[in-house]
Amino acid sequence: MHRILALSGSLRRDSFNTRLLRAAERLAPPDLTWDFFEGLADVPVYDEDIDTDPPVPAVARLREAVAAADGLVIATPEYNHAIPGVVKNAVDWLSRPHGRGALAGKGIVVWVATLGRMNGLRCLGDTRGLLSGLGNLVVPEPEVVVASAPSALTTAPDGTVVLTDAVTVDLIRAQLRVLADVLEAQAPRALWQAVERQRPDIERARFLPYVRQALGDGAAPEVVAERLRSAGHRPETVRKWIEEARAEAGPRGRSPQAGRP
């Protein structure tokens, strides 16, 4: 059994994307258990000043729900040919603390439901790219955009949402089967663990140049350390980078890389 968290990128009560997730639950293979996250409206706009430890309750709920899931199924509207702020905001919260965010190593499927007939693909591609970039395994095929949503998603007299397009039904069934297989193979976790093994080298390569530059420009080591710690880096790692940059700079305290014309 693999735990799926279904997330709608629309807060609207009668959202087609939320309804798509409801309809798709019945298309999922039996080895996927399906939970809905309904707290996105309470998640504040991302602000580093309120990204505290412990986190604010709405963020804690979101992070816990995602951490507990093996995979995510996201259905989102496209707004102005882009990812809606609600989705991007949730991803920003889930990407922190730096390198330790809950949104990594998941198997993910993304869909877009739209009123239009031709739109949705930009948001789909951008959302998939965003989630892959955080270290998740996003199921690449098929691309599912539910166009003309009011006729594609109807409601039966008993309130059940029905996906009327037989091709989309088949595509979603197949895609959820791929997700289940990928989770069974533990492929998303293996991907992330491989990245994690290289994490110290990746972080050093990315941030040591900043430390060299800042110290070379005369910034106090405590100020540089505090900036990196508040961006989510571990204190012992920051200390190592500062020691390394200072050792390179030699007794005059000036980095060989900094300050050159």
Ligand X SMILES: Cc1cc2nc3c(=O)[nH]c(=O)nc-3n(C[C@H](O)[C@H](O)[C@H](O)COP(=O)(O)O)c2cc1C
Nearest C-alpha neighbor of 70 from the set 195, 208, 190, 154: 190
CA–CA separation, 62 and 56 (whole Å): 10
Residues 75-104 that bind ligand X (CB under 6 A): 77-81
148 scored as a contact of ligand X (CB under 6 A): no
The answer to whether 135 contacts ligand X (rule: CB under 6 A) is no
What track of x and - describes contact with ligand X for positions 109 through 128 (by CB under 6 A)?
A: ----xxxx--xx--------
12 binds ligand X (CB under 6 A): yes
Residue with tokens 């959202």: 15
* Region 225-244 residues binding ligand X, contact defined as CB under 6 A: none
Any residues with CB less than 8 A from the CB of 50 and at least 6 apart, and which? 44, 56
User: What φ, ψ does residue 189 adopt, rounded to 5°?
Assistant: -65, -40
Give min distance, CB of 80 to ligand X, in A. 5
The residue (of 40 and 214) whose beta carbon lies closer to ligand X is 40
The footprint of ligand X on this chain (CB under 6 A) covers a number of residues equal to 17
Toward ligand X, which CB reaches closer, 12 or 197?
Answer: 12
Name which position in 10, 136, 175, 255 contacts ligand X (CB under 6 A): 10
CB of 9 to ligand X, least distance (A): 7
Nearest to 132 by CA among 160, 103, 157, 167: 103
- Residue 61 and residue 238: Cα distance in Å, rounded? 29
15 binds ligand X (CB under 6 A): yes
Q: How far from 13 is each of 9, 127, 133, 213, CA to CA, in Å?
A: 12, 22, 31, 50
Residues that bind ligand X (CB under 6 A): 10, 12, 15-17, 77-81, 113-116, 119-120, 149
